[in-house]
Amino acid sequence: MDTLKPTQEQVLFPLEGYVWSNIVIVIDLWQYNMTSGEFTMVKTNGHTYYIGSATRGVGTPDTFLDYRRGFGLVYHSKLNSLFVFGGERGGNRNDVWRFNFSTNLWIWVAGNRTVNEEGRYEVLGQESPLNYPAPRQGHSMVYDPKTTLIYTFGGKGGTSNQYLNDLWAFNATSLHGPG
């Protein structure tokens, strides 16, 4: 498959779905061309029940984002990548995944793979590999091309699954987050 780079005419749809009677979990990434009105499948898990196993920082053709709902997603234009943060599957999550359009691989890049824990920051506003937000779902995310930071706000999560009112920034280049 050719290397994809989304344009203003293309929209990417990470889709998940369930076919309950056969317990099929769909983890597909589709591209929609607004000019032609056509869909193109970019990546699929083959429509099988899948709970991902991954090694942080390593992407292989068999590595897929775990199925989940309520996740945040942004396109990082400088890195030509999608970034997915959080979501819910058996509890709220705080892992960060990257889909690299140059390699067509999913890579687990940051965060923990445990659920429903509290967030942590060393010094508010200072970047550190020890910083991580509480696992969450239903949050908002935006990419700032000027600073190249990814911002996450709010959602519902933490150990008591409460509504959150916090703002986090993630540096996708260093893979660290300011508190």
Radius of gyration from C-alpha coordinates of the chain: 16
pLDDT at residue 24, rounded to an integer: 52
pLDDT at residue 177, rounded to an integer: 56
The pLDDT tens digits for 30-63 are 777 778 888 777 776 665 444 556 788 888 887 7
State yes or no: pLDDT of 6 exceeds 80. Answer: no
pLDDT at residue 67, rounded to an integer: 76
Cβ-based neighbours of 160, under 8 Å, separated by 6 or more: none
Mean pLDDT of the chain: 78
Alpha-carbon span 14 to 109, nearest angstrom: 18
Among 36-50, 61-75, 85-99, 119-133, whose mean pLDDT is lowest? 36-50
* CATH numbers and ranges of domains, the chain: 51-178 (2.120.10.80)
Q: Side chain identity at 46, as an amino acid letter? A: G
Kindly report whether the global pTM for this prediction surpasses the value 0.75: yes
Kindly state the DSSP code that residue 2 receives in the 8-state scheme: P
pLDDT at residue 168, rounded to an integer: 92
Among 5-14, 37-46, 109-118, 164-173, whose mean pLDDT is lowest? 5-14
What is the band of 1 on the pLDDT scale with cuts at 50, 70, 90?
Answer: very low
What is the band of 179 on the pLDDT scale with cuts at 50, 70, 90?
Answer: very low
- Render the burial of 119-138: b for 16+ CB within 10 Å, e for the rest: bebeeeeebeeebbbbbbbb
